[in-house]
């Protein structure tokens, strides 16, 4: 079985075992096993700060370096950034609205480990803004203060891009190698995920009973509903991009089918290029330039859904993030999207979802539950990513293209890459 299947089986087995212990009155067994789950969570936590810092710094350095690569590249980065900001705040609004209509029952409040990680409450916007610039980046890393650490990493990455070529390459290589080493550790920890998640699910079910299963099911369904709205938005963007609604839908059908089956934007790149060039008649130079960049740094679905995922995870543990925290989480969602280029699925969850969850005060346990049941949301998430990449490419190609010739005239001039 695949790792995802093993994790899902472990989750279901843990819930059933916990319910059996609760019915039999032997919940002390769960307390005895709980340290195993805590050790596994600590293994995930120890890689989060260095991994996000390295990915964020090298990602920003690469984007800043590429932004001087020509008119299309500059326009592309600007459009991507604007759409990702829209995605983060729109997704947050949808998530808050859905949580108010269908409130999550806080099943995690009874868990001792969840009770130790409450979110700070009633923090005003001014204090949050002042705290964005860390007085001591090393202290911020030690305290796992993700928002100021990510801001510092972004500033450092932009500064590295300004260095002479030799120094820039040296620093980027060191940080990239460090990030790769962290990914090796993450892979080691995820190999033990079935054991860790089994123990965590057993402990939760033993203490909360069927509330655990009901809360987890609602958690997944609410996230799928939010991501479905994100998919509809990307389809709408494509349909109003100027190529015609039905034409865009026909072009997107192939990449969407591949996205649903592979859950990988990278795997959909050949289908996206074919759709752009053959089905939408976009200039080959534009498609071959924009789409590869889009599949690495433009994940509309991830950014649209991550704040809601963190919000639902916090609510599941009885934690209610403030409006200031939600606003900061939107900014973190956009920034961390830059640093997760080419990462495998579980590593993407840790690197891009982890900082948002921490900003919202959601405990790591909430994210591990998402890791266990991510298969269904990931289908909708990847579909939104792929559709957004095709829609954004269509918009950018049309905005940067030279005017089309009159019928019977000469061939339309291709947009210059410089």
Q: Which has more confidence, 92 or 5?
A: 92
Question: Is residue 410 a part of any domain in this protein?
Answer: no
Nearest-angstrom CA–CA distance, 364 and 372:
13
Whether the per-residue pLDDT at 178 is higher than 70: the answer is yes
Residue whose structure tokens are 């995802």:
4
Q: How confident is the model at residue 187 (pLDDT cuts 50, 70, 90)?
A: confident
CATH code: domain of residue 363 = 1.10.3860
Residue 203 lies in domain: 3-109+132-400
Question: Is residue 121 a part of any domain in this protein?
Answer: no
Cβ pair 61, 168 in contact under 8 A: yes
Question: Across residues 20-47, what is the average pLDDT?
Answer: 85
DSSP labels, 187-229: HHHHHTHHHHHHHHHHHHHHHHTHHHHHHHHHHHHHHHHHHHH
Cβ pair 241, 79 in contact under 8 A: no
Question: Is residue 406 a part of any domain in this protein?
Answer: no
Q: How confident is the model at residue 417 (pLDDT cuts 50, 70, 90)?
A: very low
Question: Is residue 289 a part of any domain in this protein?
Answer: yes
Q: Which has more confidence, 406 or 96?
A: 96
Domain count, the chain: 1
Whether the per-residue pLDDT at 147 is higher than 50: the answer is yes
Cβ pair 88, 300 in contact under 8 A: no
Question: Is residue 409 a part of any domain in this protein?
Answer: no
pLDDT digit string (tens) for 49-106? 888 888 888 877 877 666 555 566 777 888 888 999 999 999 999 999 999 999 987 7
Nearest-angstrom CA–CA distance, 136 and 362:
24
Question: Is residue 415 a part of any domain in this protein?
Answer: no
Nearest-angstrom CA–CA distance, 121 and 138:
25
pLDDT digit string (tens) for 215-253? 888 999 999 999 999 999 999 999 998 888 999 999 999
pLDDT digit string (tens) for 278-309? 888 888 877 777 888 888 788 899 999 999 99
Question: Is residue 405 a part of any domain in this protein?
Answer: no
Q: What mean pLDDT value characterizes the chain?
A: 80
The backbone region for 401, taken as left when phi is positive above 0, alpha when psi lies in -120 to 50, beta otherwise, is beta
Q: How confident is the model at residue 132 (pLDDT cuts 50, 70, 90)?
A: low
pLDDT digit string (tens) for 149-163? 888 888 888 888 888
Question: Across residues 319-348, what is the average pLDDT?
Answer: 79
Cβ pair 162, 30 in contact under 8 A: no
Nearest-angstrom CA–CA distance, 105 and 214:
9
Q: How confident is the model at residue 128 (pLDDT cuts 50, 70, 90)?
A: low
Question: Across residues 242-265, what is the average pLDDT?
Answer: 87
């Amino acid at each position: 079985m695949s790792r995802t299947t093993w994790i899902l089986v472990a989750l279901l087995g843990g819930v059933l075992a916990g319910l059996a212990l609760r019915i039999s009155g032997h919940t002390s067994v769960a307390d005895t096993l709980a340290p195993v789950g805590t050790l596994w969570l600590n293994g995930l936590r120890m890689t989060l700060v260095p991994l996000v810092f390295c990915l964020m710094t090298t990602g920003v350095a690469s984007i800043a370096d590429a932004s001087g690569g020509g008119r299309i590249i500059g326009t592309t980065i600007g459009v991507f950034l604007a759409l990702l900001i829209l995605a983060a705040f729109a997704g947050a609004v949808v998530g808050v609205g859905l949580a108010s209509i269908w409130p999550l029952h806080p099943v995690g409040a009874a868990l001792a480990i969840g009770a130790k990680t409450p979110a700070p409450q009633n923090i005003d916007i001014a204090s949050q803004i002042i705290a964005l610039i860390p007085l001591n980046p090393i202290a911020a890393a030690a305290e796992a203060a993700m928002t100021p650490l990510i801001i510092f990493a972004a500033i450092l990455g932009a500064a590295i891009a300004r260095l002479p070529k030799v120094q820039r390459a040296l620093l980027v290589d060191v940080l990239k190698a460090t990030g790769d080493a962290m990914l090796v550790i993450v892979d080691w920890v995820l190999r033990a995920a079935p054991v860790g998640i089994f123990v965590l699910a057993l402990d939760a079910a033993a203490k909360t009973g069927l509330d655990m299963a009901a809360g987890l099911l609602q958690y997944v369904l609410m996230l799928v509903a939010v991501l479905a709205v994100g998919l509809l938005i990307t389809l709408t963007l494509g349909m109003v991009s100027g190529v015609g609604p039905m034409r865009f839908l026909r072009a997107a059908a192939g990449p969407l089918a591949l996205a649903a089956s592979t859950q990988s934007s990278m795997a959909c790149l050949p289908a996206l290029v074919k759709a752009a060039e053959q089905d939408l008649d976009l200039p080959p130079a534009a498609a071959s330039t924009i789409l590869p960049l889009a599949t690495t740094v433009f994940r509309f679905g991830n950014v649209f859904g991550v704040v809601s995922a963190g919000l639902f995870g916090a609510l599941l543990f009885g934690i209610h993030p403030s409006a200031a925290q939600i606003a900061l989480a939107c900014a973190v969602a956009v920034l961390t999207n830059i640093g997760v280029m080419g990462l495998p699925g579980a590593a993407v969850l840790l690197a891009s979802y982890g900082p948002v969850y921490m900003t919202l005060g959601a405990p790591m346990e909430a994210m591990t539950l998402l890791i266990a049941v991510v298969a269904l949301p990931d289908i909708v998430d990847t579909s939104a990513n792929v559709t957004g990449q095709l829609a954004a490419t269509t918009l950018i190609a049309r905005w940067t293209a030279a005017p089309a010739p009159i019928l019977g005239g000469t061939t339309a001039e291709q947009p210059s890459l410089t």
